[in-house]
Each structure stands twice: as structure tokens, then as C-alpha cells.
Amino acid sequence: MTIKTRFAPSPTGYLHVGGARTALFSWLYAKQQGGQFILRIEDTDLERSTQESVDAIFEGMNWLGLTYDEGPFYQTQHFDRYKEIIQQLLDQGDAYYCTCTREELDTIREQQKANKEKPRYNGKCRSVDHSSDLEAVIRFKNPEGGEVVISDLIKGEIIVANKELDDLIIARSDGSPTYNLTVIVDDMDMGVTHVIRGDDHVNNTPRQINILNALNATLPYYAHVPMILGSDGARLSKRHGAVGVMQYRDDGFLPEALLNYLVRLGWSHGDQEIFSMDEMVELFDLKSVNVSASTFNTEKLLWLNHQYIMNAEPEHVAKHLKWHMANQEINLENGPELVDIVKAQRERSKTLVEMASASHYFYQDFEEYDAKAAKKNFKQGSDDVLQQLMDEFSLLDVWDGEKLHQIILDTAEKLELKLGKVAQPLRVAVSGAGVSPAIDITLSLLGREKTLARMLKAIEHIKGLG
């Protein structure tokens, strides 16, 4: 048997972190089992589905690297098949037309609540032929006795009595199919063997199993992933900053860092915190997914991102940094290679946004100095220190970090100054701020022309202070 999993988002908004984690778990399980991963767009909600949301799903999946083996499939292309199955259920006597109005249903529910009964459809139209009524919906005739047993791969055995389930609507009065019908038809037709989804679908599962049984279909295995909570214990939402996956790219996270964080939200392998993609595929196990909900911790994600920035291949980080440099309108033509920037800045950058922001001066001149840094380091006599350094730098035949560093050391010794009294004015002169990579690396990356021009500008600035 070929293992098949699927990710089936509705295109009514961005791809959020909960959906991304479900996609990741489904993707990992398929890869580990040598199976296939399907992407299906559940776009039957014509009023709320948008092409913009479809594009956002594709963009998020591509950025995360969650490639799919089949699809993308669109439910709106399968309406004829859904009609066929609905008709089959009607012909078998497993579905019926219902003309109950919303007002009637509300009255029934209110009466049930008053009687302290579980609100559910009372089956009023079960034995009446309303097939000629244009306003009728179609309901699935749920079994009245027995129970549904779900062998959930995460939650364990779940037993639901059929008397707790009502006859759900499978087709609206306009003939359009509902979610619980379309999802089982697609899973059945696409040969999905494992349905891995959020536990907000647990209540749908027994209903879907009953429909599959009525169709004599092979049941898939189910695995319901616990929800993600915000720091306040409530379900993760926009107010917790839980925006689309692509916002994490915009905020400077590496996709691997986000994936690593998401896989650890509810799953663990001993005390290991950092996993390569190969390790995730090798070690992931649905049986090791926690039954309880997980709490999203942005500080932990930031820590993990910093680990990836520091330890990933600089070329890989540079590829993602390039997008942020462009986003901050930094022209890379007149400056060092981005790989060298990554090597210089990775220790002090938690995000790629920070790294890009801290690297402007390597590519473009700055308008003014950081006021605090200039006040502290541009003192009387600092212009003389910079002039001596500049004279020595100008004599170098090769612009080399080691030689530059030695000149700084020799100048400090010659002027009988602490190293900081020489290096810091130089740092502010060339970078505009009091923080940069090691001064020899900073000068090497800037190059001779930029360094000397900025030193001259700083000398003039200090003299202008009087």
C-alpha cells in the first residue's frame, strides 16, 4: 500500500502557522513512509474563496519547501463527481430531502435545550418524499443505533454513539455540496490513506466515517493534531501576532527555523531541540505527538532562528538575506559579497531583518552619525587619531584585514592610548554607529575607497565641532 497524506486548506485567507504545522506533519509522515503528499485546495465556499488566498497558500508552501507530489487539486473542478455521490446516497436510501426552515430548526433546538437535550436535527423529514421541492436540502441518513470507533493515531481510541450524531446536510438547496461530503469524496477518490489534521475536526470524523461506510469505501487512518495556543492559553489567533506564514519571512526568519520550531510544537525526540530536515523525516513519529495543546513562544522561535543564522551554510543564509536587502532598497552592486556579510554579522543578528538593517553602511553612505556614538567617541583629538590611521592606511599596497589591524594596534601604542580610544572613533567614522563586526573585518568589507573617504569626512566633522 502506498501511503498518501494530504494538506487541504480553504483559500479564505493566508496560510497560518497552525495550517503550516499540519502540512508539515502530513509532509513528514509521507516522506518517512516513502509515500506521497497531496495538496488540495478546498474552494467550494465560493463567496469567501479568493485567488489571492490561493496564491498565498502556494507562496507559503514554496517558501517552507513543502513540495507536493500530487496536485494542486481544486474542489470546484469536482462538482459533477459530488453530485454523482449524492445521487448514489439518495438511490441507496442513505440520504433524503429536507424542507425544514431555519425557523423550524431553531424552534426544535430551543425546545431540546429547554429539555436539557443535545441540540440536533430530529429527523422530521426522514420518511417524507420532498424530492420535488426546489427549496429542499439533502441530508445524510445517519445510522440511529450502534457507535463509531475511531482509532486515532494521536489521541487513541475515540468512541461516539450514533445517537449523538444528527443527519447532517450534504447538499444545500442550490445543489452545492457541503464540506463533510466533498472531503470524504476527495479522500476516497485520491486514495488518501492517512488524514492528518487539526483536532477541531474530531467532531466531523464520525460523521465522515458513516458516509464512507455507506459508500462501502476503505476508511483512512485518522490523526488529529492538538491546537496551538497563545501565551494567554487561548487559541492562537491574530491578536497573538499569529499572522500568515509569509509574515515570518518578512520578519526575518529562515524557513528551516520556522519548520524546526513548528515540528517541536507538540512533538519531541528526547531533549533534542534542533533538527535538520533529514532528521525530521527520519525521526518524526505520529505516536510521539502530544495529546495536549502546545503554546507558541516567539522568544523560543527567535532563539532558534539565531541558531540557524549562525550555523547554516553562509551561502544559504545569503540567499534569503538578498530578499531583505532588496526589501530595504539596498543596492548590492557597490559593496561586498553577501556571503561575507553573513559571516561578519551572523553572531549578532537574531533575524535577517536585523542583519540587513545593520549592513546598510557597507553599500551606501550614511547621512549622519548615531548621536550617542558620536558624542561618546568624537572627542577633542579624535581627528588627530583618525588622521594618523588614515596616513598609515593610505600607504598599504594590499587592503588586508591583518595589516589594518596591526596599524590600529601600533597607532594605539604610539599615541599611548587604550585600543578602544583608537578603534571606536574609527568604527563610528566608517559605519556611522558604535557597533559593527570586528574593526579589521569591517574595514576589509568596506574596502579602501569607502574607508578613506569616510575617515576624511569624520575628521572634517570633528574639526567642525570646535
Query: Pick from 426, 432, 433, 399: which is nearest to 411 by CA?
Result: 426
Helical segments of 312-418, H only: 314-327, 338-345, 352-357, 371-377, 382-394, 401-414
Mean pLDDT for back-to-back runs of 10 residues, the chain (466 residues): 95 93 98 97 91 96 97 96 98 96 88 86 88 88 96 97 95 94 98 96 97 98 94 78 86 98 94 96 94 93 98 98 97 96 98 98 96 95 96 96 96 96 97 96 97 97 88
Query: Pick from 360, 358, 340: which is nearest to 350 by CA?
Result: 358
Paired with 74 in beta bridges are: 41
pLDDT for res 242: 61
Residues ≥6 apart with Cβ < 8 Å to 366: 360, 431, 432
What Rg value do the Cα atoms of the chain yield, rounded?
Answer: 32
- Sheet containing 169-171: order of strands: 95-98, 137-140, 169-171
pLDDT for res 344: 98
* In contact, 224 and 197? CB cutoff 8 Å: yes
* In contact, 323 and 353? CB cutoff 8 Å: no
pLDDT for res 108: 85
Give the CB-side neighbour count of residue 434, counting CA atoms within 13 A: 11
Residue type present at position 94: D
pLDDT for res 238: 67
* In contact, 76 and 38? CB cutoff 8 Å: no
pLDDT for res 225: 96
Q: Give the residue carrying C-alpha cell 445524510.
A: 140
Residue type present at position 342: V
Q: Give the residue carrying C-alpha cell 536585523.
A: 354
Query: Pick from 301, 312, 305: which is nearest to 349 by CA?
Result: 305
Residues ≥6 apart with Cβ < 8 Å to 191: 2, 4
Distances 353 to 189, 330, 360, 401 between C-alpha atoms, Å: 45, 12, 11, 27
For residue 278, which phi and psi values (nearest 5 degrees)? -65, -40
DSSP per-residue codes, 71-90: EEEEGGGGHHHHHHHHHHHH
Domains in the chain, CATH or no CATH each: 1-229 (3.40.50.620), 366-466 (1.10.10.350)
Dist. CA 427–CA 418, nearest whole Å: 15
For residue 126, which phi and psi values (nearest 5 degrees)? -55, -40
The pairs formed by 156-163 with CB atoms below 8 angstroms and a separation of 24 or more are 156/291, 158/202, 158/205, 160/206, 162/206, 162/210
Counted residue by residue, the chain has a size of 466
* In contact, 16 and 64? CB cutoff 8 Å: no
Dist. CA 17–CA 262, nearest whole Å: 8
Dist. CA 430–CA 401, nearest whole Å: 15
For residue 158, which phi and psi values (nearest 5 degrees)? -120, 125
pLDDT for res 234: 84
